[in-house]
C-alpha cells in the first residue's frame, strides 16, 4: 500500500524523566499510506513515543518532523493542526458534551477545519460509518466501552489528520468487539490513511501492520514486516526473556 | 543587617505556617483558604487570655494548639470529607474545597469580629535585645526560636517515625498508600488537623510582635500560599528558603520603601515564581 | 416557534420590561435595581469565563476598582470626560487581565485562584502608595449630571452586551473550545485548541466588563476612595451570586443575583455586623446543597415535569 514517500520522521529521539531514560535514541520513518505498528513489552517506551509525537511530552533530544516541518518544538495544539490526531491509551471522551459534539470537537480546531452545518454533517457521517448512529442522541454516559473507543476514533478522524496515532485502541475489548475493531482499522488502512498504532494484540499486528518497529527498554531492537520482526531472535527474547 | 535579622525572625514563623498549609494541601489534598483564620484564632486566643487573665502567650500556646487540632479535625470530618468522597476528580475536589474553605473562612471572620472587632493589641516581652549587632524585641526572638523548635520536631517526625512515613506515603500517592495498608482517610484527617494546629501556633507566636485584627487572616493565607508555591508543594526545604526570601524582601520593602507595600512585594515575588519557576524553587519541571 | 428562538425572545421581552423599571420604581427600589443590574453584569461576565473552565476568578473587585479609580482620577486630576474614560478604563483593565492571564492561566486552577485572591487588595495598596507619595492625597470626585435612572440604563445596556456576547459565544468556536477545555484540557490541546490563549481571551473580557461597570457606577458614589472601590468583598459577592444562580447557563447568574441582592440588602440593614458570617454560610450552603445553582434545580424540576 505504500508509495514510498516519507511522511513522518522520528530521528534520534531521546526522552528522559529525571534519571530515567524512557526513550533512548530512537529513529524510524513512517511512509505515506502506511500502517506502522509500534510494539514491545510493557514499559518499553511505546506510549512515550506516541506522547512525544502528539506533543503531550517534549523530547529531551532529537527531532520529529512531518515532511519538512519540525513538530518536536511545537506545542500539542499546533501539532494537531499540522495533521496529527490521536486516541488515548485510557479512553478520554468529553462527558459534558453530546456525542455529536464530541466528534465535532475533532474538526472544529483540527487539521482540516470545519464548523457549523458542514461539521455537523461530517460528524453524523463519521458516527454512521463507525456504527454509532443509533447511539447518536444518547448521553455519553450510556456508551459501552467499545462505543467510547469508537467515539474517540471518530473524534480523531474528524480533523482529517495526515497521521493517526492509535494508542492501544484495541486493548480491553472482548473477542467479538476485537473483530469489529480490527475490521474498522483495516477499513481505514484501505482508505490509504497513515497510521501508527501501539498494540499488544498479535492478531491485529499481523493483519493490520505493513511494518513494525519493536521497542525494548526504551531502544529500538528491530524493524521490518510483522513476520520478519516476530521471528527475530532479539524480539522473542525481549518478550519471553532469556531461556 | 537590620533587615536581614528582622527578616529572618519573621521568616521563622512564616515557614512554620507554610509547613502546616503544605501538609494540608500535599497530604489531605485540601487547598485550605481558611488557613489564615486559624492563625488569627491563635492570635485572638493569645490576646484574650493575656488581657483578660494576664496569661502568658506561651501558656496559651499549650492550650490553643490541642484545641485547634481537635477543631480542625472536626472541620475535616464534618465539612471536608463529604467533598473528598463526592469528588469525581482532583479538579472538582479543588474547586469544591476552595469554595468550602472560603465559606469556613468567612464564617470564622464573622464570628471573630463579633467577639472582638478592634485590633488585638497587647505587649509581651517587648524589651529590646541585641543580636548580631542589631536591636530587636525579645518577643520576636522568642517566637522565632519556638517556631524553629516546632518546625524541627515536625521535620524529624516526618522523616524518622512510622506515622510520619505513613503521612509522606499518602502525600506521594494516596492509592498506593491504601494498598499497603495505610488508613488514608484517617491520615488525611489527622494531617489536616495538624496543619490547622500549626497555623494556630504560628498565630499565637505572631501576635506577640505583630498587631492583628479579626479580618487580616486572608493576608496570611496569601503569604503562606505564596511560600508553599515558591518552595514547591510538599517540599519542606523549599518552603523554609521561600519563607526566608519572603520575610527578608518584605522587611526590606517595609523599612526602605513603605510598610504599606509588603503585599505588593509578596505579589511581585509570586509573579516571578509563576513566570519562571512554577514548579517551585527546587522542583523539576513536570509535564 | 422553533425551540432555539425561545431563549432570545424571552430574553428580549425581559429586557424591555427591565428597561421600563425606572418609570415605576421609587428611590429605594431604584437603588436596588441599580445594584441588581450591576451584579448581573459582573456575575454573568464572570460565569462566561469561570462556568466552562472552572477557574474561580476573584479578580472582579480589582477590575471594578480599576474602572472606578481611573474614571475618578481622570476626571478630578486631568479634567478628562466621563465618556472618554468609559472607553479607556475597560481597555486598561482588559490589558491587566490579559497580563494576569498569561502569567497564571497556563498553570493549574489553584495558582489562578490564589493570584486573584489578593489582587484587589494588592492594587489598592499600590494605588494608595502612589497617590500618597506622588500625586498628593486629594479627594477624587466623579461629578456628573447622571441620576440613578441613567446609571441603571447604562448598566442595562452593559448587561445586554454581555448577554449578546454570551449568546454569540455559545454558537461559536471559542465558546466550544472553552467547553472542551472544561471537560478535559489534555484532549482540548490534542484536538488543536490553543488552551492558554482561549482562556486568556475570555478572562480578558471579564476584565473589560468589570472595569466598564466600575466606571458606570462611579457617579453613584461621586466621592471615590481607593479603599472603597478596590473591594475584595465585591469579588466574593460576584462569585456567590453566580454560583447560587448556576454558572453553566447564560441566564443562571441572573436568577442568583436577584434573590441574593434582596437578602443581602435586608441583612446589611438588619444585621450590619453579621454580613461576613452570612457570606460564609452562603458559600457553604451552595457548595453542600445546591452545587449546580438555582439553574440546576430549575432544570431538574423541568425535566421531571416533562418526564
pLDDT tens digit string along B86-97? Answer: 887 777 888 888
A61 phi, psi to nearest 5 deg: -155, 160
d(CA B123, CA B139): 9
Facing C118 at nearest CB: one of B79, B261, B263: B263
Quick check: B284 and A18 CB within 8 A? yes
Alpha-carbon distances of C270 from B117, C266, C279, rounded to whole Å: 18, 6, 15
Q: Residue C138: its pLDDT value, please?
A: 67
d(CA A41, CA A239): 6
Q: Where are the domains of chain A?
A: 1-9+20-43+178-243, 84-161
Q: Where are the domains of chain C?
A: 3-231
Q: Residue A10: its pLDDT value, please?
A: 92
A135 DSSP 8-state letter: G
Facing C274 at nearest CB: one of B110, B221, B266: B110
Neighbours of chain A (3+ CB pairs under 8 A): B, C
Q: Residue C137: its pLDDT value, please?
A: 61
pLDDT tens digits, B17-58: 888 888 888 888 888 889 889 999 999 888 888 888 888 888
Say whether residue C276 is in contact with chain B using an 8 A CB cutoff: yes
Q: Could you tell me which chain C residue has the CA closest to the CA of A158?
A: C191
Q: Residue B286: its pLDDT value, please?
A: 44
Quick check: C126 and B264 CB within 8 A? yes
Name the residue with higher pLDDT: C1 or C165.
Answer: C165
Chain B residues within 8 A of A56 when measuring between CB atoms? 287
Chain C residues within 8 A of A163 when measuring between CB atoms? none
Facing C192 at nearest CB: one of A77, A101, A104: A77
Q: What mean pLDDT is predicted for residues C275-284?
A: 88
Would you say residue C101 has pLDDT above 50? yes
Say whether residue C283 is in contact with chain B using an 8 A CB cutoff: yes
Give A86's strand partners: A165
d(CA C144, CA C195): 43
pTM (2 d.p.): 0.89
Inter-chain CB pairs, B–C, below 8 Å: 118
d(CA B20, CA B26): 10
Say whether residue B99 is in contact with chain C using an 8 A CB cutoff: yes
pLDDT band at B69 (very low <50, low <70, confident <90, very high): very high
Would you say residue B182 has pLDDT above 70? yes
Quick check: C192 and A54 CB within 8 A? no
Those residues with Cβ within 8 angstroms of residue B159's Cβ, 6 or more apart along the chain or in another chain: none
Least confident of B133-142, B198-207, B226-235: B133-142
Say whether residue C125 is in contact with chain B using an 8 A CB cutoff: yes
DSSP for B151-210, please give it: HHHHHHHHHHSHHHHHHHHHHH-HHHHHHTT--HHHHHHHHHHHHHHHHHHHHHHHHTTS
pLDDT tens digits, C175-222: 999 999 988 899 999 999 999 999 999 999 999 999 999 999 998 887
Q: Residue A233: its pLDDT value, please?
A: 82
- Residue A138 three-state SS: coil
The cell for C248 is: 453553566
Alpha-carbon distances of B62 from B9, B41, B144, B200, B217, rounded to whole Å: 21, 14, 17, 11, 21
Residuewise pLDDT in 10s, chain A (243 residues):
445 788 999 999 999 987 888 999 999 999 999 999 998 888 888 999 999 999 999 999 999 999 888 999 999 999 999 999 999 988 898 988 889 999 999 988 888 888 888 888 999 999 988 888 888 888 888 888 888 998 999 999 998 999 999 998 888 888 888 888 898 899 999 988 999 999 888 888 888 899 999 998 889 988 998 888 888 888 888 777 755
d(CA C228, CA C204): 23
d(CA C125, CA C93): 17
Are B23 and B194 spatial neighbours (Cβ–Cβ below 8 Å)? yes
Instruction: Give all domains of chain B, ordered by start, each with its CATH number.
Output: 2-276 (1.10.3470)
pLDDT band at C239 (very low <50, low <70, confident <90, very high): very high
Interface with chain C: mutation pick from B30, B87, B103, B116, highest number of C CBs within 10 Å: B103
Would you say residue B154 has pLDDT above 70? yes
d(CA C126, CA B115): 31
Fold of A1-9+20-43+178-243: Rossmann fold (3.40.50)
Alpha-carbon distances of C177 from C187, C196, C250, rounded to whole Å: 11, 11, 16
Cα torsion C163, C165, C166, C167 to 10°: value is 90
pLDDT band at B287 (very low <50, low <70, confident <90, very high): very low
Chain B residues within 8 A of C120 when measuring between CB atoms? none
Amino acid at each position: 500500500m505504500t508509495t514510498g514517500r516519507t511522511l513522518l520522521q522520528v530521528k534520534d529521539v531521546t526522552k528522559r524523566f529525571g534519571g530515567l531514560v524512557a526513550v533512548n535514541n530512537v529513529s524510524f520513518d513512517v511512509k505515506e499510506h502506511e500502517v506502522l505498528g509500534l510494539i514491545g513489552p510493557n514499559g518499553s517506551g511505546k506510549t512515550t513515543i506516541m506522547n512525544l509525537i502528539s506533543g503531550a511530552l517534549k523530547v529531551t533530544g532529537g527531532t520529529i518532523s512531518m515532511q519538512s516541518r519540525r513538530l518536536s518544538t511545537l506545542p500539542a495544539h499546533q501539532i494537531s493542526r499540522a495533521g496529527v490526531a490521536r486516541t488515548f491509551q485510557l479512553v478520554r471522551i468529553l462527558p459534558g458534551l453530546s456525542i455529536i459534539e464530541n466528534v465535532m470537537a475533532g474538526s472544529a480546531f483540527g487539521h482540516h477545519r470545519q464548523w457549523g452545518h458542514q461539521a455537523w454533517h461530517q460528524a453524523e457521517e463519521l458516527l454512521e460509518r463507525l456504527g454509532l448512529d443509533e447511539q447518536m442522541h444518547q448521553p455519553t454516559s450510556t456508551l459501552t466501552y467499545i462505543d467510547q473507543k469508537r467515539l474517540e476514533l471518530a473524534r480523531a478522524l474528524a480533523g482529517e489528520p495526515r497521521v493517526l496515532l492509535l494508542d492501544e485502541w484495541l486493548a480491553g475489548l472482548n473477542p467479538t468487539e476485537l473483530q469489529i475493531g480490527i475490521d474498522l482499522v483495516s477499513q481505514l488502512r484501505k482508505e490509504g490513511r497513515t497510521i501508527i498504532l501501539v498494540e499488544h494484540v498479535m492478531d491485529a499486528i499481523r493483519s493490520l501492520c505493513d511494518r513494525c518497529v519493536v521497542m525494548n527498554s526504551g531502544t529500538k531492537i528491530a524493524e521490518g514486516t510483522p513476520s520478519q520482526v516476530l521471528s527475530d531472535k532479539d524480539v522473542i527474547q525481549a518478550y519471553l526473556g532469556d531461556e | 543587617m537590620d533587615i536581614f535579622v528582622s527578616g529572618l525572625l519573621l521568616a521563622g514563623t512564616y515557614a512554620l505556617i507554610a509547613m502546616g498549609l503544605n501538609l494540608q494541601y500535599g497530604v489531605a489534598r485540601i487547598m485550605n483558604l481558611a488557613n489564615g483564620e486559624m492563625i488569627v484564632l491563635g492570635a485572638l486566643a493569645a490576646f484574650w487570655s493575656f488581657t483578660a487573665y494576664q496569661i502568658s502567650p506561651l501558656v496559651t500556646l499549650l492550650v490553643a494548639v490541642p484545641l485547634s487540632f481537635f477543631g480542625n479535625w472536626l472541620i475535616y470530618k464534618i465539612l471536608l470529607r463529604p467533598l473528598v468522597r463526592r469528588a469525581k476528580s482532583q479538579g472538582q475536589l479543588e474547586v469544591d474545597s476552595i469554595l468550602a474553605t472560603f465559606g469556613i473562612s468567612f464564617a470564622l471572620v464573622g464570628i471573630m469580629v463579633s467577639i472582638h472587632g478592634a485590633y488585638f493589641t497587647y505587649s509581651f516581652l517587648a524589651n529590646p535585645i541585641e543580636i548580631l549587632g542589631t536591636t530587636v524585641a525579645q518577643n520576636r526572638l522568642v517566637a522565632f526560636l519556638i517556631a524553629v523548635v516546632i518546625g524541627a520536631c515536625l521535620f524529624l517526625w516526618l522523616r524518622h517515625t512510622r506515622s510520619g512515613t505513613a503521612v509522606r506515603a499518602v502525600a506521594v500517592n494516596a492509592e498506593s498508600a491504601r494498598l499497603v495498608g495505610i488508613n488514608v482517610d484517617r491520615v488525611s484527617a489527622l494531617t489536616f488537623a495538624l496543619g490547622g494546629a500549626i497555623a494556630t501556633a504560628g498565630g499565637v507566636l505572631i501576635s506577640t510582635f505583630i498587631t492583628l485584627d479579626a479580618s487580616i487572616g486572608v493576608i496570611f493565607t496569601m503569604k503562606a500560599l505564596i511560600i508553599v508555591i515558591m518552595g514547591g508543594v510538599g517540599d519542606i526545604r523549599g518552603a523554609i528558603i521561600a519563607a526566608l526570601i519572603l520575610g527578608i524582601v518584605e522587611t526590606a520593602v517595609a523599612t526602605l520603601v513603605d510598610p504599606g507595600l509588603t503585599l505588593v512585594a509578596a505579589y511581585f515575588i509570586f509573579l516571578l515564581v509563576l513566570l519562571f519557576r512554577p514548579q517551585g524553587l527546587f522542583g523539576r519541571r513536570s509535564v | 416557534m422553533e425551540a432555539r428562538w425561545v431563549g432570545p425572545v424571552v430574553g428580549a421581552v425581559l429586557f424591555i420590561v427591565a428597561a421600563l423599571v425606572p418609570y415605576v420604581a421609587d428611590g429605594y427600589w431604584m437603588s436596588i435595581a441599580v445594584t441588581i443590574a450591576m451584579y448581573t453584569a459582573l456575575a454573568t461576565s464572570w460565569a462566561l469565563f469561570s462556568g466552562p473552565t472552572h477557574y474561580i476568578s476573584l479578580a472582579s473587585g480589582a477590575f471594578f476598582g480599576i474602572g472606578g479609580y481611573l474614571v475618578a482620577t481622570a476626571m478630578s486630576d486631568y479634567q478628562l470626560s466621563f465618556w472618554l474614560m468609559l472607553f479607556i478604563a475597560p481597555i486598561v483593565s482588559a490589558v491587566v487581565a490579559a497580563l494576569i492571564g498569561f502569567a497564571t492561566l497556563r498553570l493549574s486552577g489553584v495558582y489562578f485562584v490564589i493570584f486573584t485572591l489578593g489582587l484587589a487588595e494588592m492594587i489598592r495598596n499600590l494605588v494608595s502608595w502612589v497617590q500618597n507619595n506622588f500625586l498628593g492625597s486629594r479627594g477624587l470626585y466623579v461629578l456628573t449630571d447622571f441620576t440613578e435612572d441613567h446609571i441603571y440604563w447604562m448598566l442595562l445596556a452593559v448587561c445586554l452586551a454581555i448577554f449578546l456576547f454570551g449568546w454569540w459565544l455559545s454558537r461559536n468556536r471559542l465558546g466550544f473550545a472553552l467547553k472542551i477545555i472544561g471537560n478535559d484540557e489534555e484532549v482540548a490541546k490534542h484536538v488543536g485548541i490553543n488552551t492558554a490563549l482561549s482562556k486568556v481571551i475570555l478572562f480578558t473580557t471579564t476584565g473589560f466588563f468589570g472595569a466598564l461597570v466600575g466606571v458606570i457606577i462611579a457617579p453613584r458614589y461621586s466621592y471615590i476612595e481607593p479603599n472603597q472601590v478596590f473591594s475584595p468583598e465585591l469579588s466574593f459577592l460576584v462569585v456567590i451570586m453566580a454560583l447560587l444562580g448556576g454558572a453553566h447557563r447564560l441566564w443562571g447568574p441572573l436568577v442568583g443575583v436577584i434573590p441574593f441582592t434582596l437578602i443581602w440588602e435586608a441583612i446589611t440593614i438588619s444585621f450590619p455586623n453579621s454580613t461576613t458570617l452570612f457570606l460564609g454560610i452562603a458559600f457553604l450552603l451552595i457548595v453542600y446543597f445546591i452545587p449546580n445553582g438555582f439553574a440546576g434545580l430549575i432544570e431538574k424540576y423541568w425535566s421531571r415535569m416533562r418526564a
